[in-house]
Chains A and B, each alone.
Chain A
Amino acid sequence: MAINLDDPKKFRPLVGQAHQVAMNMLRPISRKYDKAEHAYPKELDMLAAMIDGLSESGASEGAGAAGVKRDEKVDDAGGVKNGTNLASVMSIAEMCWGDVGLLLSMPRQGLGNSAIASVADAEQQARFEGVWAGMAITEPGTGSDSANISTTAVLDGDHYVINGEKIFVTSGDRADAIVVWATLDKSLGRAAIKSFVVPKGTPGMSVERLEHKLGIKASDTATIRFEDCRVPAENLLGSPEIDTKQGFAGAMATFDNTRPLVASMAVGCARASLDLTRELLSQAGVEVDYDRPALTQSAAAAKLLQMEADWEAAYLLMLQAAWMADNRQPNSLEASMAKAKAGRVGSDITLSCVQLAGSLGYSESELLEKWARDSKILDIFEGTQQIQQLIVARRVLGLTSAELK
């Protein structure tokens, strides 16, 4: 045991690979699918096949959307682990350095896959392996207060019958299945909220429309309607019991695992902006001198230094949250810290880089303006900035959700 915050040595090949993929496959089609919103990025099929191959060979270290799970096996070595959670945040950050929208469109890498990995039992894990799963939580009338959803699931024989409307479903049209949140009994509150895997083509589930968005246009965002949609009872993820003591914890456990991932998306996107801006400024003769006081350098250099410090802060908070998950430490607080910091830093950096680069940054001739649009969603989905602050505040202050609303 020794404090060390350098990147884990064993993930160097993985991160290197992800970087090459991002640079050579995602960047060349980045602008194309920003323009062609709702067009399916067919190039990703080949990439997804390659990623599946890598994960079968073990070269990917289990990284990816489904890599965010608690390894319950006792570590034989008893030492500190750098495992799939770290591998996942690091490789996803690298892919988002390429393109966030395309990463979100990556087959079999949906947030629904993270939910399955986090909540499903062993039988379900096996049954849903290889399934590309989107995630449907938000409703027209319910955003951040996800305990308030009104989509219902009623047991009828050996099926649940689902009714309701879900919006903002990433890959809702393209995925093989949707993990949908519904309540078994609204009067029992958050404890009655369960998640269900609904395969594409199930009668009663229909994609109503696709959103036109500010950014991540490569990713399709669907509105999905459930009308007497019958799903097998065994597709309820985890336990069907309504445990009012456990409350929301079951479904919310997904978030502890996915928030570091969203942080990693913001970290990757921000680094793309930072890298390009540093090079553009360098061509203009601005170099950061790390030893000299920022105030004795140019304003551009000082801004770059401040952005890099904030970026590093988000990056290390992200690694911390993932490292804790790898070592089976509760990380709800740290996951929210990472997402809060990465979300706001992602916006500040990408927007500031546009300003530093002037009309060059604002123009579609560079990708800076795109990254400044892509980054905004990362401070919103999987819990907004304000929700993260609420979680951090409740934890730090030891207040309940009834006390600190």
Chain B
Amino acid sequence: MSLLTSLRPGGRHGIAATETRDPIGYAVAALSRLAQSDVLDRLGLRKQTETAVYTATRGGFRTITRAGRTFARAGAQGSPGSRPVTATRPGVFDLTPSEDEQMLVDVVTELAAEVLRPAAAEADETCVAPEVVLKAGLEVGLPILGLPEELGGITEERSAVAGALVAEALAHGDLGLAVASLAPGSVATALGLWGSEAQQQTYLPAFTSDDVPAAAIALTEPTVLFDVLAPATTAVRTDDGFVLNGLKSAVPRGADAELFVVGASLDGAPVLFLVEAGAAGLQVEADPAMGVRAAGLARLHLDGVAVPEDAVLGTTDGTTYAECVRLSRLAWCALGVGVGQAVLDYVTPYVKEREAFGEPVAHRQSVAFMVANIAIELQAMRLLTWKAASRAAAGKDIARDVALARQLCADKGMQIGLDGVQLLGGHGFVKEHPVERWYRDLRSIGVMEGTVLI
């Protein structure tokens, strides 16, 4: 780096490249350099506490991925796997969950309220989902929710509606912890939907066992105007498989994950690859974000990662990949509905109790109408999400439904997060109340690709 470039302020620290410094600016910059300098530390002026360990709350430090278990190869190569049966619908408009779905929702709602919500604030701080939360999720069967019975799962038919209801209920507890809890099951669901017989028999036994591996779907990349359908990560054919190169972001529980589903371009089409942790060339880097922090988001570096021929999940023409993208966006919509509902449930009693000018602030239309609009848009978000989910369960095309649900959930979800903080005023801005966390979390709905699916 030339001296001149190093003196320019732009291109770093969120400063546009066109910014210039005036004399005062240079003086301030010099002071800032000194303040950050190691010199202070060498002189013993500052306590040196940095240790070279992977910290989920701090980016910039890379480590190899977890040397996970060896997934024993099994099943016939090339044979199609078992598939969940598509759900039949009698063609009646209906907003009533089935009894099974309702039971599931009741259990998960309790889990969210009793386990996730109390753990949310600390997990947000530490960027780690506590073991007790993850265990509780495993106990209610989250990883096998989307799997058909013959693969060790619990559903008779395609369970996208149940998936949406569960995601909403979990996110009502906490979004980050919901994502951490749902990530392994998402990989299992993907294997159920698109895996070959060999892939299903190699990987699924672990997900239906007592020792469920952490796993994640890695589609997002850290570029502006990212188009998930055109990943910059590449896959190149070799004699006995493929070599992957690229960088993935927003990978949940990246440090613990034992299996990744990675999106990469192969011959111009986006394709899903199964990549086992511990593969040579695979490195994980903490990538803490504005929100969804409890999910332990990470970047995944793929530097010449060799995978075998049967690492391709589904088709190579981009259709499986597109389906995965849609189902994942659908999951984020359902999660957004859950967080939105949490906001509504929190602000409703608050504005009725909080008094200003001698009466509850809820008695003012400017406050009450904000709550009304939260309720209206939230219900609309839920209906669009349910529509897409019910169509997915019935095996119908969901491209339009998912696009509309994502658009609405991203826009209105963020508005709900914004209003949630505003309704509490200054109290909404401090961590004593959870609305500031929901504000940060709700920004993710339109940003995230992959990570979870239903």
Seen from chain A, the residues whose Cβ lies within 8 Å of a Cβ on chain B are: 1-10, 79-80, 82, 86, 288, 290-296, 305-306, 308-310, 312-314, 316-317, 319-320, 323, 334, 337, 340-341, 386, 389-390, 392-394, 396-399, 403-405
Contacts and interface: CB of A to CB of B under 8 A. Distances in A.
A384 to B, nearest CB: 12
Contact of B404 (A309, A340, A390): A309
Contact of B91 (A3, A9, A293): A9
Given A320-B95, A337-B379, A309 B225 contact: no
Contacts of A389: 365, 368-369, 372-373
A309 B404 CA distance: 4
B96 to A, nearest CB: 5
A363 B35 CA distance: 64
A314 B226 CA distance: 30
A228 B399 CA distance: 62
Nearest to A295: B225
A187 B204 CA distance: 74
B407 A393 contact: no
Given A3-B390, A341-B380, 17 more contacts: A1-B98, A2-B90, A4-B93, A4-B394, A9-B91, A80-B96, A82-B92, A288-B403, A291-B403, A308-B404, A309-B408, A312-B384, A316-B380, A317-B376, A386-B365, A396-B371, A404-B368
Given A6-B390, A404-B363, A316 B384 contact: yes
B363 A399 contact: yes
B191 interface: no
A390 B399 contact: no
B380 A313 contact: yes
A2 B391 CA distance: 12
A397 B390 contact: no
A305 B93 CA distance: 25
A86 B94 CA distance: 11
A8 B93 contact: yes
Main secondary structure of the interface of B (DSSP, over half): helix
B443 interface: no
B271 to A, nearest CB: 15
Nearest to B408: A309
B387 A6 contact: yes
B380 A396 contact: no
Contact of A3 (B95, B225, B363, B376): B95
A10 B411 CA distance: 34
Interface residues of B, number: 59
Contacts of A396: 344, 348, 371-372, 375
B84 to A, nearest CB: 15
B402 A290 contact: yes
Nearest to B325: A291
Interface of B: 87, 89-99, 101, 161, 225-229, 322, 325-326, 344, 348, 351-352, 360, 362-363, 365, 368-369, 371-373, 375-377, 379-381, 383-384, 386-387, 389-391, 394, 396, 399-400, 402-405, 407-408, 411
A229 B402 CA distance: 57
15 contacts: A1-B97, A5-B390, A6-B93, A291-B322, A291-B399, A296-B227, A309-B384, A309-B407, A309-B408, A312-B404, A389-B365, A393-B368, A393-B371, A404-B362, A404-B365
A149 to B, nearest CB: 23
Contacts of B377: 313, 341
B375 to A, nearest CB: 5
A320 B383 CA distance: 9
A108 B411 CA distance: 41
Contacts of B91: 4, 6, 8-10
B387 to A, nearest CB: 4
A405 B368 CA distance: 10
B379 A317 contact: yes
A306 B407 contact: yes
Contacts of A320: 95, 379, 383
User: Which 9 pairs show the lowest CB-CB distances between chains A and B?
Assistant: A9-B91, A313-B380, A5-B387, A290-B403, A393-B368, A309-B407, A316-B383, A392-B372, A393-B372
Contact of B93 (A86, A291, A312): A86
B79 to A, nearest CB: 30
B368 A2 contact: no
A163 to B, nearest CB: 34
B375 A392 contact: yes
Contacts of B389: 3
B229 A312 contact: no
A5 B375 CA distance: 20
Contacts of B380: 313-314, 316-317, 337, 341
A257 to B, nearest CB: 18
A337 B326 contact: no
A135 B265 CA distance: 63
Q: Which of B101, B351, B368 has the most CB of A within 10 A?
A: B368
B94 A319 contact: no
B372 A292 contact: no
Contact of A293 (B225, B386, B399): B225
Contacts of A319: 93
Contacts of B402: 290
A316 B322 CA distance: 25
Contacts of B362: 397, 399, 403-404
B445 to A, nearest CB: 13
Contacts of A309: 384, 403-405, 407-408, 411
Nearest to A323: B93
Given A4-B94, A323-B95, A292 B227 contact: yes
A80 B92 contact: yes
B351 A397 contact: yes
A398 to B, nearest CB: 8
B92 A390 contact: no
A337 B382 CA distance: 13
Given A4-B92, A9-B91, A397 B387 contact: no
